[in-house]
Chains A and B, each alone.
Chain A
Amino acid sequence: MFIHLKDVSYTYNLNMPFETVALKSINLKINKGEFIGVIGHTGCGKTTLLQLLNGLLEPTEGKVLVDNIDIHQNKQKLREVRKKIGLAFQYPENQFFEETIAKEIAFGPKNMGIAGEELEQRIKKGIEMVGLDYYAYKDRSPFSLSGGEMRRIAIASILAIDPEILILDEPTASLDPQSCSKLLSVITDLYLKYQRTVIMVSHNMEIIAELAKRIVVMEKGGIVMDDTPKNIFQHSLRKLESIGLSLPPVTHTMYELKKIGKPVSSAILTVEEAKDEILKLIRKRERNEIY
């Protein structure tokens, strides 16, 4: 399944006094199996974009094509899109309402007409995919969980619908560091092990730099950059800062070292890469001094 936004614009309150343009002339192709990070400051149109991707909003101009079919011209495709593209909003646990975790997760698939053995399998698989034990969790109240577990169960409830594409809006917001890294390894598994397409919005540059294979940068309702993390963080510090974003601390450190004339690569995204680059340089220098 692949998504193609073709010249898509979206205006809130169209033809009303409070008309607001949220997106203008967006062109974006998302292929099967990608891991895309979407970044941009508050109010740049990220959330509107996500809602267009799974057909929750209909563009005021342009087309949303899924597998080359215009989803707003084809009711059947739109229904399929809603099942196959799962969207986790910010703080998805705020939408919990059931007594047990199993019932909570059953809500989506049940609405799709799934019952009996198949339903139980879906619930089981959803819980397992987020790295939790089905038997230990199924009968507990979703409200008794820790913040990180709640977030994972909320994602499990989307996985139970068996989506091909998973859209996550700030999935790690206000989780503690360990819950955050556990959730990120769950998300990495969804991409690598379960081969889902993942589209993730985050304000955390460290996370985006480490996980995403492609980054889409948004500003004022448009896409201003669309490239690999290395290219984006290496070449565009000024541009990123001017639109309210930043570099991960290690990337920024290397950038500053390069600026004062040190021969380091600034295409460094993780602690591991920074360490290797620094040690390599020191060894090189030691050799030069010896001979």
Chain B
Amino acid sequence: MIKFDEVTHFYNSEQGNKVASLSKVNLEIEKGDFIAIIGANGSGKSTLARHINGLLLPSEGDVLVESYNTKDLNMIWSIRTKVGMVFQNPDNQLVATTIEDDVAFGLENIGIEEKEMKKRVDWALKVVGLSELRNSEPHLLSGGQKQRVVIAGALAMHTSYLILDEPTSMLDPKGRKEVLEIIKRLNEEENITVVYITQFMSEAAQFKNIIVLDKGKIVLTGPPKKIFNQPDFLLSLNLEIPQITRLARELSANGLDIPANILNEDEMIKYLCLYI
């Protein structure tokens, strides 16, 4: 479990003022959770994510990863092994000249013996579906494949928590789909806890739960059906609802008897087939 206990994070603005980018955040992430975080630019999403593996430390309050406090310097490497991070631009995270070397990079750093290393790299590449490309050079891959290599690198470390900070914002539609399919599978089949930051509401709609941040505070949590049933509130936070949900609301407002919080195309098609 990951626990945020009254976490506040200050940074110094250019005028020298103390500004809170997170303010008194309380949060519990259970093993196996599948959570999306949404919020306007500057609402504290990335700051929150960087607290989970101790890249940032709380100015006040504590972050616990299982029993370890991220402020405990002796435990920071254990924490970072448990919590894998995937950032926006995969090019910044790929370091080696072949894919398998890249996946092995973290393992080498913590001194895993060769036999075990090979086993883990084989497994991680298989999970993300890149076994056949193991000897390719990372720069020859598509954006979606590169992000899958980064994810494999985290898996090889036997990460239990995967934190992804807008991993699809630079990808084309196919790459976005690849990444989402992989993390869904990791959650279902490998029981990996996923925390996924996104600006795409249609992506957030595919998670079990959503956390909404505004000005460093958690203002709403719940399943997508509940979150996207509050379009006016989301609008006031500079967010919106997915395109399909917008259509559902329009139809419902025009007297059609369909739920106004439909989230995906399959559901929409099912309802529309009752009428046309």
Q: Which residues of A contact B (CB under 8 A)?
A: 40-43, 90, 141, 143-144, 146-148, 170, 173-181, 203, 205-206, 244-246, 248-250, 252-253, 256-257, 260, 262-264, 271-272, 274-275, 278-279, 281-282, 285
Which B residue's beta carbon lies closest to that of A90? B170
* Extra contacts besides A179-B238, A244-B173, A272-B250 (14): CB < 8 Å: A147-B42, A174-B88, A176-B39, A176-B41, A176-B238, A177-B201, A181-B240, A245-B174, A249-B242, A253-B244, A253-B247, A253-B272, A260-B273, A279-B254
Partner pick for A203 among B40, B88, B172, CB 8 A cutoff: B172
Q: How far is the CA of A174 from the CA of B41 in the complex (A)?
A: 8
Q: Is the CB of A279 within 8 A of B41?
A: no
Closest A-B pairs by Cβ, 6 of them:
A147-B41, A244-B174, A178-B238, A246-B173, A177-B240, A41-B172
Q: How far is the CA of A249 from the CA of B244 in the complex (A)?
A: 7
Quote the shortest CB–CB distance from A204 to chain B (angstroms): 9
Q: Is the CB of A144 within 8 A of B14?
A: yes
Q: Is B166 close to A, CB under 8 A?
A: yes
Contacts of B201 in A (CB 8 A): 177
Q: Is the CB of B256 within 8 A of A248?
A: no
Q: 14 A-B pairs, CB-CB below 8 angstroms?
A: A41-B142, A41-B173, A174-B41, A175-B41, A176-B41, A178-B238, A246-B174, A253-B244, A253-B247, A253-B272, A260-B269, A262-B276, A263-B276, A282-B256
Contacts of B256 in A (CB 8 A): 278-279, 282
Residue from A170, A205, A244 having most chain B Cβ neighbours under 10 A: A244
CB interface residues, B 219-265, toward A, < 8 Å: 235, 238-240, 242-244, 246-247, 250-251, 254, 256, 265
Partner pick for A249 among B175, B199, B243, CB 8 A cutoff: B243
Q: Is the CB of B268 within 8 A of A253?
A: yes
Q: A275-B247, A282-B256 are in contact. Are A252 and B265 (CB under 8 A)?
A: yes
For B170-213 the 0/1 string (1 means CB < 8 A from A) is 11111111000000000000000000000101100000000000
Q: A176-B40, A275-B250 are in contact. Are A42 and B175 (CB under 8 A)?
A: yes
Quote the shortest CB–CB distance from A247 to chain B (angstroms): 9
Q: Is B169 close to A, CB under 8 A?
A: yes
Interface size on B, residues (CB 8 A): 44
Contacts of B176 in A (CB 8 A): 203
Contacts of A42 in B (CB 8 A): 142-144, 170-172, 175
Q: Is the CB of A178 within 8 A of B251?
A: no
Which A residue's beta carbon lies closest to that of B253? A275
Q: A176-B40, A275-B254 are in contact. Are A244 and B175 (CB under 8 A)?
A: yes
Q: How far is the CA of A178 from the CA of B234 in the complex (A)?
A: 10
Q: How far is the CA of A42 from the CA of B272 in the complex (A)?
A: 35
CB interface residues, B 103-138, toward A, < 8 Å: none
Partner pick for B169 among A173, A260, A279, CB 8 A cutoff: A173
Q: How far is the CA of A253 from the CA of B202 in the complex (A)?
A: 14
Which B residue's beta carbon lies closest to that of A176? B40
Contacts of A272 in B (CB 8 A): 250
Quote the shortest CB–CB distance from A150 to chain B (angstroms): 9
CB interface residues, B 20-77, toward A, < 8 Å: 39-43
Contacts of A174 in B (CB 8 A): 41, 88, 166, 169, 199
For B3-25 the 0/1 string (1 means CB < 8 A from A) is 00000000001100000000000
Q: How far is the CA of A141 from the CA of B251 in the complex (A)?
A: 45
Q: How far is the CA of A244 from the CA of B202 in the complex (A)?
A: 18
